[in-house]
Amino acid sequence: MARAARKKAVRAPEVLGPTPERMAKGKFQVVPVELEGHQDKRSEAFKDIASTTIDEWLSRGVIDERQHKACEYYLRLYHRAKLLQRVTANYDARICGGSGNYETQQEAIEDLRMWAGRIPPLPLSVFTNVVVFGHRTGTAGEALGYTSKKAEVAAITCVRLVADTICMYKRW
C-alpha cells in the first residue's frame, strides 16, 4: 500500500522556444548557455535580438536601414545629453554630471533643440516615446487621439516621418 501511495514526481515541460506568434514578431537567435551548477553541461536557448520596438520593426521590414540609423542617432543624442538619468533626485552640486564631458553634452542638447525646431511637436513626441522611452506603438499612438489598430498605424507613420526628416537633414 505504501508503494501505491508514492507518486512519481511530475516534471515541468521543457521550454522549447518562443510561441509562433512571438517568433513572427521578433528576431531570435539560438545561443549556447551554461547550466547553472553544472559546469560541464551546456544547453541552447533562444535569445531575442530584436528587443526594442525599432529593432523589431527593422526585422519585420516596417522601417528601412536609414530610418533605423536615424532612430539610433536620436537615441544617442538623448544618452549624450544625459536626459535618461534614472534617479529621482540629483543632489550633486555639479550641473553636468561627473563625466566632465561638457562639450558633447551641450552639443547634444543643442542638437535636440534644433530637431525640436525643425519637426512638429506632436510627431516628435510620439517618435521620442517610441524610440527613446520604448513605448509600444498602440500606447504612443493614443497621444494622437486614435485607439487600437489606428493608433499603431499613426505611431508608425510618425516614426517614419521623423526618421525620414532626420535622414533628409543629415543626408543619409
pLDDT at 67: 96
In a domain, 55, yes or no: no
In a domain, 146, yes or no: yes
Does residue 85 or residue 145 have the better pLDDT? 145
* Same-domain check for residues 114 and 161: yes
In a domain, 1, yes or no: no
167 Cβ contact partners less than 8 Å away, ≥ 6 residues apart: 66, 67, 69, 70
Domain count, the chain: 2
Does residue 160 or residue 18 have the better pLDDT? 160
Q: Using CA atoms, how far apart are residues 81 and 102, in angstroms rounded to an integer?
A: 9
In a domain, 7, yes or no: no
* Same-domain check for residues 25 and 76: no
Contact 32, 42 (CB under 8 A): yes
* Same-domain check for residues 22 and 76: no
* Domain housing 24: 18-49
In a domain, 6, yes or no: no
pTM score, whole prediction: 0.63
* Same-domain check for residues 81 and 135: yes
Q: Give the model's confidence band at 45: pLDDT under 50 very low, under 70 low, under 90 confident, else very high.
A: confident
Q: Using CA atoms, how far apart are residues 69 and 130, in angstroms rounded to an integer?
A: 15
Q: How confident is the prediction for the chain on average, in pLDDT?
A: 77
- Amino acid 43 reads S
Does residue 55 or residue 74 have the better pLDDT? 74
In a domain, 124, yes or no: yes
In a domain, 142, yes or no: yes
* Same-domain check for residues 123 and 41: no
Q: Is the pLDDT of residue 73 over 90?
A: yes
